């Protein structure tokens, strides 16, 4: 009995002794303190170093911890909209797979903002804070929810310049609901809120066609589904491919901001070369093919025709 117990204890210590140790922290500089160390669990065979950036925001995030080398190899790195991500790995105790220097050109302007790209837990009320640089004296917080399969980082916090504004983009494709909620504020660390949840809301009377093209022709006329719009979604939207405008990517309900704030806000959500068109009346997003909206009022159609002729 006794031997059994000590064997178990011995095995336990052997396993522990054999376990990989990694730095574990999340901040801007990527330098964990000496005590921020993690003993890896079975299956975690590497230490990762993950770098995230968001164009236009001082939100750079470096995260370290134990991970799996297989995940590291298949990490979805590169740009997705304004978000850039990369992961490096190594597999010896407390190893550092990259030499990392957070970029910080310009002088501090006296404001500090929470700076963090990640999930609701790591970038919540106690997210790390960083001094802001140059003209970036506005604290920005972006909370986002994506369509399935597009899962990126739910929260982005950082220092931004005056071109960041409060804006909300909400849309629904089929049963899937997505949004970007961007809030700005002045004053150090005022972007200290938790993830903001926008409810889908109740039906608002507008009905739109909906589809999501996966290359199987889901957006052809005969396959379109109906969708009852809810909450603040008071537009029908039609998302087309930027390069070939006769290719429909999605249809559904959305907010007007999806069409006006497209470049800054919607682009990070959809990430591929696309653009959205909004219209106001039920079923107005049926238009398929390269033609403009289905039934143009006569005068507008005539004006367009004349314009086109004049152009030629």
Ligand X SMILES: *[C@@H]1O[C@H](CO)[C@@H](O)[C@H](O)[C@H]1NC(C)=O
- Residues in Cβ contact with 148 at an 8 Å cutoff, skipping those fewer than 6 apart: 176
Closer by beta carbon to ligand X, 224 or else 305: 224
Q: How many CB atoms lie within 10 A of CB 203?
A: 11
Q: Which of residues 30-49 bind ligand X (CB under 6 A)?
A: 31, 33
Q: Which of residues 123-142 bind ligand X (CB under 6 A)?
A: 125, 135
Measured between alpha carbons, how far is 26 from 37 in angstroms, rounded to an integer? 12
| DSSP state, residue 149 | T
Distance of CA 20 to CAs 16, 50, 74, Å?
Answer: 8, 18, 21
**What sign results for the dihedral spanned by CA atoms 42, 45, 49, 50?**
negative
In the complex, the smallest distance separating the C-beta of residue 24 from ligand X, rounded to whole angstroms, is 9
Applying CB under 6 A, the site for ligand X has a residue count of: 21
Q: Which of residues 52-111 bind ligand X (CB under 6 A)?
A: 56
In the complex, the smallest distance separating the C-beta of residue 312 from ligand X, rounded to whole angstroms, is 20
Which among 7-15, 170-178, 212-220, 239-247 is the span making contact with ligand X, rule CB under 6 A?
A: 239-247
Q: How many CA atoms lie less than 13 Å away from 61 in the CB half-sphere?
A: 29
Closer by beta carbon to ligand X, 103 or else 244: 244
Closer by beta carbon to ligand X, 11 or else 119: 119
Measured between alpha carbons, how far is 72 from 95 in angstroms, rounded to an integer? 15
| DSSP state, residue 194 | -
Contact of 69 with 89, CB cutoff 8 Å: yes
Closer by beta carbon to ligand X, 82 or else 271: 82
| SS3 state of residue 203 | strand
242 is a site residue for ligand X (CB under 6 A): no
In the complex, the smallest distance separating the C-beta of residue 201 from ligand X, rounded to whole angstroms, is 14
* CA-only gyration radius of the chain, Å: 25
220 is a site residue for ligand X (CB under 6 A): no
In the complex, the smallest distance separating the C-beta of residue 35 from ligand X, rounded to whole angstroms, is 9
Closer by beta carbon to ligand X, 122 or else 218: 122
Q: Which of residues 263-282 bind ligand X (CB under 6 A)?
A: none
In the complex, the smallest distance separating the C-beta of residue 260 from ligand X, rounded to whole angstroms, is 18
Residue window 152-191: x/- pattern of binding to ligand X, with contact defined by CB under 6 A: ---------xxx-----------------------x-xx-
In the complex, the smallest distance separating the C-beta of residue 136 from ligand X, rounded to whole angstroms, is 8
In the complex, the smallest distance separating the C-beta of residue 228 from ligand X, rounded to whole angstroms, is 4
| DSSP state, residue 70 | H
In the complex, the smallest distance separating the C-beta of residue 55 from ligand X, rounded to whole angstroms, is 7
| SS3 state of residue 181 | strand
Phi, psi of 2 (to 5 degrees): -60, -45
Measured between alpha carbons, how far is 157 from 124 in angstroms, rounded to an integer? 10
Residues contributing to the site for ligand X (CB under 6 A): 29, 31, 33, 56, 119-122, 125, 135, 161-163, 187, 189-190, 192, 228, 244, 246-247
């Amino acid at each position: 009995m006794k031997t059994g117990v000590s064997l178990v204890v011995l095995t336990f210590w052997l396993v522990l002794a054999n376990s990989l140790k990694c730095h574990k922290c999340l901040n801007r500089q990527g330098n964990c303190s000496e005590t921020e160390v993690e003993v890896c669990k079975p299956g975690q065979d590497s230490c990762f170093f993950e770098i995230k950036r968001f164009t236009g925001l001082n939100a750079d995030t470096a995260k370290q911890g134990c991970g799996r080398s297989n995940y590291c190899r298949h990490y979805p790195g590169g740009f997705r909209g304004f978000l850039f991500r990369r992961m490096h790995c190594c597999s010896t105790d407390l190893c550092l797979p990259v030499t990392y220097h957070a970029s910080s050109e310009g002088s501090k302007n006296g404001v500090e903002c929470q700076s963090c790209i990640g999930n609701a837990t790591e970038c919540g009320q106690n997210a790390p804070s960083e001094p802001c640089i140059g003209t970036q004296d506005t604290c920005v917080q972006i909370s986002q929810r994506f369509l399935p399969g597009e899962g990126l980082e739910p929260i982005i916090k950082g220092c931004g310049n005056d071109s960041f504004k409060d804006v909300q983009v909400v849309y629904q494709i089929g049963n899937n609901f997505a949004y970007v909620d961007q809030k700005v504020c002045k004053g150090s660390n005022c972007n200290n809120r938790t993830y903001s949840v926008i409810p889908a809301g109740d039906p608002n009377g507008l009905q739109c066609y909906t589809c999501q093209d996966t290359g199987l022709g889901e957006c052809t006329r005969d396959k379109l589904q109906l969708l009852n719009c809810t909450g603040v979604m008071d537009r029908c939207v039609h998302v087309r491919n930027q390069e070939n405008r006769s290719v429909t990517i999605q249809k559904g309900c959305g907010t007007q901001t999806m069409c006006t704030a497209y470049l800054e806000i919607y682009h990070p959500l959809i990430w591929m070369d696309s653009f959205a068109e909004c219209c106001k009346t039920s079923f107005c997003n049926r238009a398929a093919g390269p033609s403009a909206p289905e039934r143009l009022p006569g005068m507008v159609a005539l004006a367009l025709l004349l314009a086109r002729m004049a152009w030629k």
